[in-house]
Amino acid sequence: MTYEFMKYPTQVKEIANELVKVCNDYKSRKISNEEIKEIVLYYAKEYPSKLFNNNDLNPTIKKIIGQQRIGIIKKLTASDQDLLLYVGENYDKN
């Protein structure tokens, strides 16, 4: 069974709400470590201008997902620091 998540969000709030859902499902063990990481990195690669602001998470994302989920997201992306640096410096501001 594959995990369903919104692949084509049009708003920052939609990504934030998906991240809340994904983190909650992860904490309740409905999805695996690999699945949550795949989803978070998908958003980081496909929608960097919505997920990031400079070298940090977008303030709207942070406000909606809360501190505990921010910690999960940062731990998941810590091993992909090169991606975060690239995205933070080169994201598309459309």
Q: 22-70, pLDDT tens digit by residue?
A: 999 999 999 999 999 999 999 988 998 998 888 789 999 999 999 999 9
> Do residues 48 and 87 lie in contact, with contact meaning Cβ atoms separated by under 8 Å?
yes
* Residue 5 predicted with pLDDT over 60: yes
How far apart CA 16 and CA 62 sit, in angstroms, is 8
Over range 87-92, report the average pLDDT.
Answer: 51
- For the chain, which residues make up each domain, given as ranges? 12-90
What is this structure's pTM?
0.80
* Residue 80 predicted with pLDDT over 80: no
Q: What are phi and psi of 52, to 5 degrees?
A: -115, 155
